[in-house]
Amino acid sequence: MSKPDALQRNLQLILRDRQRRGWQLEPPAPGTLTDMVDFGSNDTLSLSSSGLLGKEFVKELGKYPNFILGGRASRWGEGSTEYLLQLEEYIAKFHKAESALFFQTGYEANVAVFSTLTQPHDVVLYDSLVHASIREGMYRSHATNIPFNHNDLASLRQRLLDTKNQHEGVRSGLSLVFIALESFYSMDGDAAPLEAIVREVKEQLPQGNAVFVIDEAHSTGLVGPQGSGLVSHLGLEKEFSIRVHTFGKAHGASGGKFQVDL
């Protein structure tokens, strides 16, 4: 039996087994969804399905006749176009941040934050329900990663106390403690008690070595001044060193970015 035949046979066996177990799902035909209320996509503001986004895109292209389409190279090569630099500057001003960095997806932005900014002597305290992209970034890092119970201030307090007891660098303020949160958690739809969390962490870490990082994927475009997110809604911009926003949900597009306040 040739390799392609063997592969096809194995795939058929897998599919038949999934069908027998009721695990094989067929996506609905696009035409069957047009007259239905949308509870299944991330297009929460209908910017994508309404056609408004396409019209604005064409209008924007008209303003910039030399706009470069496609990813010609990485940012280290020729990927930093003038338009992209202007976009990052605009995003930073919009979110009242010092700077911003654009990524192809919000997933990549989270992975980059936690895999590159944390160091071996640092600690990441993360809510137990944070997104898989944050977990992947932590997995790639060399920091100590410690979960606390979802939205549980008592659990967070205990983890902070344990961390101080076990890490001299944390007690002295030389090691950073990254606090990883989401504004709204996608599985349960509940919001993080950001103000209470900030107060608790600052009380436990008076040396000022806490770094608050938040994924605002599900608040972008929906909460805060002009959809700037939950952090901006609460006026906590200066408390959160890193805020990750995505364009693939309420904005109806793709991409992600994070803003930095140091």
- Give the model's confidence band at 262: pLDDT under 50 very low, under 70 low, under 90 confident, else very high: low
User: Which class for 133: exposed (0-12), middle (13-18), buried (19 or more C-beta within 10 A)?
Assistant: buried
* pLDDT for 1 beyond 60: no
pTM above 0.85, yes or no: yes
Percent over 90 (pLDDT), the chain = 69
* pLDDT for 193 beyond 80: yes
Which residue, among 193, 251, 257, has the nearest Cα to 227 in the 3D structure? 251
Instruction: Give the β-pairing of 210-215 and 123-127.
Output: unpaired
- Give the model's confidence band at 187: pLDDT under 50 very low, under 70 low, under 90 confident, else very high: confident
pLDDT confidence of residue 222 = 93
Domain ranges of the chain: 97-260
pLDDT tens track for 35-86: 888 887 888 888 888 888 889 989 999 999 888 887 778 888 877 888 999 9
pLDDT confidence of residue 79 = 79
* pLDDT for 214 beyond 90: yes
pLDDT tens track for 89-131: 999 999 999 999 999 899 999 999 999 999 999 999 999 999 9
Alpha-carbon span 185 to 165, nearest angstrom: 30
- Give the model's confidence band at 2: pLDDT under 50 very low, under 70 low, under 90 confident, else very high: low
**232 or 4, greater pLDDT:** 232
* pLDDT for 183 beyond 80: yes
Burial 90-110 (b: 16+ CB within 10 A, else e): ebbebbebeebbbbeebbebb
- Give the model's confidence band at 16: pLDDT under 50 very low, under 70 low, under 90 confident, else very high: very high
Instruction: Give the β-pairing of 256-260 and 210-215.
Output: unpaired
Mean pLDDT over the full length of the chain: 92
Question: Which numeric CATH code is attached to 97-260?
Answer: 3.40.640.10
Q: Give me 170's structure tokens.
A: 């944390």
pLDDT tens track for 156-175: 999 999 999 999 999 999 99
Q: Which stretch of 47-51, 177-181, 210-214 has the lowest confidence by average pLDDT?
A: 47-51
Q: Kindly compute the dihedral angle of the four CA atoms of residues 138, 143, 149, 151, in this order, to the nearest 10 degrees.
A: -70
pLDDT confidence of residue 138 = 98
